[in-house]
Structure 1
Amino acid sequence: MDEHDPPKLPTIRDVALAAGVSIGTASKALNGQGQLRPATVSRVQAAARQLDFRPNSLAQSLHRASSLTVGVISSDSFGRFSMPVMEGIEDVLGSAQRSVFMCNAADDPAREKMHIDALLARRVDGIVVTGRRTDPRPALDLGRSALPVVYAYTQVAQPHGQTFSPPCLLPDDFGGGEQATRHLLEQGRRRTAHITGPQKFEAARLRAAGYLAALEQGGDDLAPARVLNGAWSETWGREAVGELFSGPASARASPPDALFCGSDQIARGVLEALRELRLRVPEDVAVVGYDNWDVFAEATRPTLTSVDMNLRDLGRQAGQRLLDLIGGGPGRDPGGPLRLPCRLVVRHSCGAPVNEEAPDPRSST
């Protein structure tokens, strides 16, 4: 062998020779199969360690009908939403001694198909699909494979006439919007507005619907609801404040004393614009955001009260659901997506006692 050639990896044949047993006995000893004497098993394992032998995981999967691996396909290039979901998935799958292959499809169907083919070739036991938004998307095209699939922070478009769909776990954006608005009303705020993202996004529509539902139940002394749709950006937050406090809209109604923002990014622009108008937060205007993104929520002045979607817990539940399916549980869930509760993390921007250190009671499940 040339000195520049890479070293040859040890094989099961080398282990068997070093341990003085047959190849079949060596394989059984390393895979925990058969009824071998403990001394034989110890001798084979010691030989494998000495040779630094690593079994072929794909070959092992053929024997046990499981690769102990799972694929995760994401379209979230930035990782803002998929990474907490991924962490939750790994919390569960790691405890179950399963490895995770992370694939970024970047909203490209051809790239997604490439990843699906690669995961199927690796004989993964199941796939979790996640993304950067909750709007419906096409189901994975697995061909003839009956591989278990769970969707987390995304959902499958329901074909007409179909009564069953794969498991789809989503945050309860309606409940999150309702919870944020109810909290502002409990602080005595009576003139509210909701500044949120484009109406084409399901999350924006549901959060606005929760806002409106809370106002309907809030009493007769509330000012009319005001919903302003724009981009998911700080720039839009600043523009919306201008419209509400100094633009044409402000001439038709009293300025709001509370603003519920559809994202923390919007809320940051709102806080900057209010400061430029010399309006105090929360004394003059209370502000609540959405996402509980610490890059914004903890860095703003004052710190931002925000709705947390519990994405890590959502990932944990998605991972557990996939394990259940792999173990032979029901392959389909009737009734559409499962929406998991959000929680409000109270900081200084709303004027209520701070609870940002309070643990999520679901985080240990």
Structure 2
Amino acid sequence: MDDRAAGSPGGRAAHVALFAGLGIALILICLGSAALGQYGIGFGDVAASILRRLTGPLGLGHPVDDPFAESALWQIRLPRVTMSLIVGAVLATAGALMQGVFGNPLAEPGVVGVSAGAALGAAVVIVTGLDVLGQFTVPTAAFLAGLTAVLLVYAFSRANGRTEVVTLVLTGVAINAVAGAGLAFCMFFGSQTARDQIVFWQLGSLNGSRWTYVFSIAPFALIGLVGACLLARRLDLLALGDRAARHLGVDVERLRVTSIVLIAVMAAAAVAFSGIIGFVGLVVPHLVRMVVGPGHRVLIPASMLGGAVLLAAADVVARTAIAYADLPIGMLTAAVGGPFFFWLLRNTRARAGGWI
């Protein structure tokens, strides 16, 4: 047994070091992300302005001297920073849950069709020009379509009161293919403007994040993150195998259903407001697992922090890498995650001697 999983002093030290490092990185990246941009704001001014808002009547801190900078900080940059933290934490946690349920470090939320379904829902609204909910029309359609795709995957893969993991994965592949065909259909019949919107949405971006969007996604994120932490101990038991987990009192089918529902809610909410951002749910849990081992009681909260740090850092690069340009954040995560996935694939095959 891994000494980290057994709670040895070395394992506890690794856990403390990891959480401390992630916490410090999170604070520094948040301050840096809020300060950096085409209109520069000092790090000290950012920290003082945030401190002033947090402490309220205590009178600590102070607003930025430039009223325009103060407004830009609170109306544009901080909502985007907050959205990057939520989306990153949600995607990484969904990935950790997915890998725990499937028992495979190569699994990620897109396997169950949530990303493809959300993309199709958004594309239908964009092409048809529906605007029944104003600025929330596209995110709402994407959220509902992503949930629907996951429910279809679960319904089609269930037989005799049970859901087999292999059947679930293969059904997800089929649903992804159908959603991809629908997306191509929308792009073929849509106008050039609609096509451009669909392509940009598929690449993922946090541009245009507002506090209203943050408050809309926050309840779904909170439910998913808290639920994932509550499932951590049972996921550790599930790692022993279905039969052993049942003997230890785990309702395996209920655990899988609950996990899939939480994954669907979190991933659909994240994708609805940010577009498709790949590889966060794959890379972060695996990197955390390499540091602290497979125990989900540490893996899940560490993945939350790691995902938030990764996406916030990627968003800084997206905003500042090219002057007066905002790169699609999904492109950046794919550029890093793709080579990592290839390395992970080769490494897994080398250790296992091939796929079973």
TM-score w.r.t. the length of structure 2 is 0.32
- For the pair shown, the structure with the greater C-alpha radius of gyration is 1
TM-score w.r.t. the length of structure 1 is 0.31
* Structure holding more helix per residue: 2
Structure with greater contact order relative to length (CA < 8 Å, sep ≥ 6): 2
* Structure holding more strand per residue: 1
